[in-house]
């Protein structure tokens, strides 16, 4: 779904440029924050969420090293990841 990639990259850019909102198809959506400070956007049943750099995971470590990482989640499934501007579809990877 290339729309998801396009929207994801737009949200990714807005989050990491510290914007307050992101405009998708001429509608402004707020970039929200959890109490932990982690930024996210809920849109069309998806959650676009930045990587928590305080996590003890490999991804938390990468975020601490300066990588910009965002996940696209639907329900409890990780659909895609954007790291340093590169979109990776996790569904196709899992099916290989």
The answer to whether 30 and 46 have CB atoms below 8 angstroms apart is no
Write out pLDDT tens, residues 25-81. 899 999 999 999 999 999 989 999 999 999 999 999 999 999 999 999 999 999 999
The pLDDT value given to residue 91: 77
pLDDT given for residue 92 in this prediction:
64
Q: What is the pLDDT of residue 59?
A: 97
Of 87, 95, 1, which is closest to residue 44 (Cα–Cα)?
1
Nearest in space to 36 (alpha carbons), one of 19, 51, 15, 18: 51
Would you state the pLDDT for residue 93?
A: 54
pLDDT value at position 29? 96
């Amino acid at each position: 779904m290339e729309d998801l990639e396009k929207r994801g990259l737009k949200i990714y850019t807005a989050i990491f440029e510290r914007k307050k909102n992101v405009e998708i198809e001429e509608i402004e959506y707020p970039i929200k924050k959890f109490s932990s400070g982690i930024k996210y956007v809920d849109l069309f049943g998806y959650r676009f969420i930045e990587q928590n750099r305080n996590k003890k995971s490999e991804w938390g470590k990468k975020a601490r090293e300066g990588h910009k990482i965002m996940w696209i989640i639907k329900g409890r499934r990780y659909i895609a990841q954007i790291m340093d501007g590169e979109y990776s579809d996790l569904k196709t990877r899992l099916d290989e």
